[in-house]
Amino acid sequence: MTLSNPGWPVRLAHGDVGVRPFRRSDARRWSDLRRANEAWLAPWEPGTGTTWHEAHSPAAFRAMLRGLKRSVKDGTSWPLAVCHRGELVGGLTVGNIVRRAFGSAYAGYWIDQGHAGRGITATALALVIDHALTVGRLHRIEVNVRPENAPSNRIAEKLGLRREGLHKRYLYIDGGWRDHYGYAVTAEEVAAERMIDRMERLRRAESNH
């Protein structure tokens, strides 16, 4: 743990799902995943000013990782690999970390389409939120999702994140300024019930029906 970025570095696991810091050796796997998932991911992510193929090369990953390491050193982000049974299948970033009186950050995530719908992303997000709002000493985590992105909205709703409203024309994505639903959770809510415990309780309830 560093004084400028409490809670980092972080490695968390629950069942077959784990999160860990990205590393240089992830370059080829990351590139293969991102390129194969262009149709699945591109509609929901801000553009890079270049082609998807170029923006997701191994060299682009290494350049991105250098930038991410600077933001980690500055205490403004946690860039995490999402793994299933030890294999990289997605990513989760806690970004725009602001300390002092605000104590807030946002969480964004993506996953390989072939691994979607298995609860992997929800588990990873639950683990990271619990860590961020306890060991990470943050007070609030936000998640912003386009209304049309049904899978991502289901993840936020499954974890019981509070939908606080609609952010009009929030981000420039896929050729236009897109609305986003804003979800949030605070440290007080996690103190009452951890995200991972809430998810497991709901999973058990669903399996009993």
Range(s) of the domain holding residue 192 = 12-207
What's the confidence (pLDDT) of residue 46?
Answer: 87
Residue 4 lies in a domain: no
Domain count, the chain: 1
The answer to whether residue 199 sits within a structural domain is yes
The pTM score is 0.93
pLDDT at 1: 52
Q: Write the CA distances from 155 to 124, 149, 165, integer angstroms.
A: 11, 10, 17
pLDDT attached to residue 2: 58
> Which residues, in sequence order, are CB contacts of 147 under 8 Å at separation 6+?
153, 166, 179, 180, 181
55 inside domain: yes
Alpha carbon distance 118, 149 (integer Å): 17
User: pLDDT at position 49, please?
Assistant: 79
Output the pLDDT for position 3: 61
- The answer to the question of residue 3 being in a domain is no
Predicted local confidence at residue 51, as pLDDT:
93
Residue 172 lies in a domain: yes
How far, in Å, CA of 38 to CA of 48, rounded?
13
Q: Which residues of 128-154 are buried (b: 16+ CB within 10 A; e: fewer)?
A: bbbbbbeebebebbbbbbbeebeebbe
CATH number of the domain enclosing 124: 3.40.630.30
Residue 1 lies in a domain: no
pLDDT tens digit at each of 209 positions of the chain: 556 799 999 999 999 999 999 999 999 999 999 999 999 999 998 877 789 999 999 999 999 999 999 999 999 999 999 999 999 999 999 999 999 999 999 999 999 999 999 999 999 999 999 999 999 999 999 999 999 999 999 999 989 999 999 999 999 998 899 999 999 999 999 999 999 998 888 888 777 76
Does residue 6 form part of some domain? no
19, 73, 81, 173, 205 from 108: Cα distances, Å: 14, 19, 12, 14, 27
